[in-house]
Structure 1
Amino acid sequence: MRLLVTREEYFDAAMEILATDGAGSLKITVLCKRLKVTSGSFYGYFGSFDGFVVELLEFWEDAQTLRIEELSNAPDDPAERIHTMRVLAGTVPHEAEAAIRSWAHTHPIVAVAQKRVDERRLAALTDIIRPACRTQAEAHQLGMMGMTLLVGIQQWRSPVKKKEFDALFDEYEAVVMGKYAVTHG
């Protein structure tokens, strides 16, 4: 047995379990066995499984949404921001996200978090795309297309193959940049 693990190690292990075995396998005993700790360690950190789920989803939202928002908004050049967002979208844990989306259908806490993440991602993507478009509505439509592509490939392919993801999102980026060229040309 290990004497000490961090919250982040619990979250990382949970994301691995979600990615490989799905939400149905995410149990306290499975998590503790994977980390080689006692259930007392788990309860000491989280109090309950629901407490853990809330913190796991906050971790996921911060790690995979806030980070992407911050990094993609860093470059001043809109074309560079669009490209950065596309690259960062390729780094999310696709299989774990597909499991979270599936889990959201049966767990109300997960459903609320999933909806919040989707809304934040759509808003961030729309803001990043906005300089490429003539109107906010056009940017919103392109943002919805990007979100639909991401969710679609995560649900359709498991595992998501980098080559397929890159080809799909290279094409999406080209569409957005084509709008940018027309708007600023």
Structure 2
Amino acid sequence: MRLLVTREDYFDAAMTLLAKEGEGKLKISSLCKALNVTTGSFYGYFGSLDGFVDEFLVYWEQSQTDRIVELSNAPADPVQRVHLMKNLAAQIPHNAEAAIRSWAHTNVRVAEAQKRVDTRRQRALSDILLPGVRTRRQANRLAFMGITLLVGLQQWRAPVTKKDFDMLFDEYESVILSRMAGDAAAS
């Protein structure tokens, strides 16, 4: 048995379980087995599976959305920001996200979190694109396209390979950069 695990260890184990086996296997016993700990450790942190799910969804939203947005906003250059956002999006645990989307069809709390994540991602991507395009409307459309491509890829391909992601998002990045160059030339 492990002597000490953190909340983050549980969240990471949940992401791995979701990616490999889907939400049906996300159980207290599965998490404890994956971490080689007793159920007492789990209950000490979360109290119940519902308590865990609530904290896990907050963790997922913060680690896979807020952190990426914060890092992507660091460069001042719009082109660098677009490129960085693409590279960070490539690192998202796509299979776990596909499982979370599936889970959202049967769990209201997960569906609410999924909606918040999608809305936050689209708004953040639009904000990242806005300095390079002429209007908020153009930034919103390009962001909508990007989120749709990401969700579509996650739902269509399992597992999402680096080759598939790069092929799709290199092309998406070139569409954005072409739009930015065209808008800069028109100004």
Which bracket does the TM-score occupy, shorter chain normalised? Answer: over 0.9
Structure 1 residue 145: Cα displacement? 0.3
1:129 maps to which residue?
Answer: 129
Extract structure 1 runs of 4+ deviating beyond 4 A: none
Question: Structure 1 residue 176 and structure 2 residue 161: aligned?
Answer: no
Residues 103-150 of structure 1: per-residue CA shift (max 9 Å, x gap): 011011111111101011000000111123222111101100000000
Match of 2:105 in 1: 105
Q: Which amino acid aligns with 1:5?
A: V
Quote the sequence identity (%): 64
Q: What secondary structure, in the 3-state scheme, does the structure 2 residue paired with 1:170 have?
A: helix
Query: Is residue 2:23 matched to residue 1:23?
Result: yes
Give, in whole Å, the separation in 1 of the partners of 2:80 and 2:54: 34
Q: Deviations over 1:74-122 (max 9, x none)?
A: 0000111011111111010000000001101101111111110101100
* CA distance in 1: counterparts of 2:138 and 2:78, whole angstroms: 16
Paired letter, 1:117: V
Counterpart code for 1:56: F
- TM value normalised by structure 1: 0.98
What CA deviation, in whole Å up to 9, does each residue of 1:133-169 have, x standing for no partner? 2221111011000000000000000000101100100
State whether structure 2 residue 109 is matched by structure 1 residue 90.
no
Look up the equivalent residue of 2:60 and give its one-letter code: W
TM-score (norm 2): 0.97
Runs of 5+ consecutive residues of structure 1 not aligned to the other structure: none
Distance in 2 of aligned mates of 1:43 and 1:146? 39
AA of the residue aligned to 1:30: S
The amino acid of 1:118's aligned partner reads D
Aligned length: 185
Per-residue deviation at 1:65? 0.5
The separation in 2 between residues aligned to 1:136 and 1:95, in whole angstroms, is: 31
Q: Following superposition of structure 1 onto structure 2, how do residues 135-146 of structure 1 map, counting pairs within 5 Å?
A: 135-146=135-146
Give the alignment of 1:46-125 within 5 angstroms.
46-125=46-125
